[in-house]
Amino acid sequence: MIAKVSLVLASASLALASFSSFADDDRYQHFSGQPSKTLEQALFNLANYNAKMAEIMAKDELTPSDMATIHQLSYTLENALQKLDDEVDTLQDVLEEVHLASESLDYDTVKKQGKLYLETTAKIVKK
């Protein structure tokens, strides 16, 4: 009998959690955000949308409108960070090619991939 009651309570809890999750999805409008198709676009979006978010975050009190704006900004920021993550993954592969080529004295690959590595990281790392 206790097992049946536990099962019913667990089922009810699961149903309530599912409903509440569904309700959360209905409560918030989802946005696609600005795309970040290139590294340059991702860095531009990060700089600009971080500035917008920082301006809001500098307030002593956040309003519901501020929260909605931050919610919208986060989509663009997520897109930019995903592009940056993809670019860093590619850079790791390129640097590994440079590393392996340097071990085998493959001058052409080191020159070609080293140049690509440096050009790309220069966009991320400012002197």
Q: What is the pLDDT of residue 76?
A: 96
Is the overall model pTM greater than 0.75, yes or no? no
Other Cβ atoms closer than 10 A to 66: 15
Q: Can you read off the two tokens belonging to residue 111?
A: 């020159």
Can you give the pLDDT of all 127 residues of the chain as single tens digits?
Answer: 454 434 334 444 444 444 344 444 555 556 789 999 999 999 999 999 999 999 999 999 999 999 999 999 999 999 999 999 999 999 999 999 999 999 999 999 999 999 999 999 999 987 7
- Angle of helix 64-103 relative to helix 107-124, nearest 10 degrees? 160
Q: Chain centroid to CA 49: how far?
A: 13
